[in-house]
Amino acid sequence: MNGAVELLKRSSVIVSPETFSFVSLSREAWNKLLLEPQLSPRMSVPFMIFMDGHEVTLMLDETDLSNMRRGFGDAKIEEDLRLLTFSTVMDLSVVGFMAEVSRILADAGISILPIASFSRDSVLVKQDDLAMAMRALGPHVDSFC
């Protein structure tokens, strides 16, 4: 059994109770949003801001989405996502963990948006796919929280 499979087997999956959205903003819309501090995430639930050369991507819960939406302009929004976070603390020496998670969920026909913090990996799945994702992952993880 490879290291990624063993790590996954020892992992608990934390299912965040919030429903999230992924938002794609142009840099122009992002810069306008920054001018209005009241249009910021609340800092009390998970959120993400990622900027690359093409767009600014936000992951927001439904309350922050509702509060911030007026500042989004023509943003693309993917709603009704659930966050599954793997409890295992990892470093960059771990090879194939997300590949294994992705394989399991792909075999079940579940589309994912993988994301990572410094030490933990997560995936976003559509709310409608949550139960199926939990069934697919169940035999491969220690537990769900």
pLDDT at 68 exceeding the cut of 90: yes
The answer on pLDDT for 93 being more than 90 is no
Over range 140-145, report the average pLDDT: 96
Between CA 79 and CA 60 the distance in angstroms is 9
Paired residues of 69 in beta bridges: none
Alpha-carbon gap, residue 107 to 90, rounded angstroms: 24
At residue 55, the pLDDT reads 95
Cα separation values, 74 from 23, 26, 28, 64, 123, Å: 10, 8, 11, 17, 26
Instruction: Report how far residue 22's alpha carbon sits from residue 89's, in angstroms, rounded to the nearest whole number.
Output: 24
- pLDDT in the model for residue 111: 98
- Determine contact, residues 18/87, Cβ cutoff 8 Å: no
Q: Using the predicted structure, report yes or no on whether residue 1 has a pLDDT greater than 60.
A: no
pLDDT score for 2: 79
For the record, the structure tokens of 48 come out as 């993400």
pLDDT of res. 90? 85
Instruction: Check residue 30 and give its pLDDT.
Output: 93
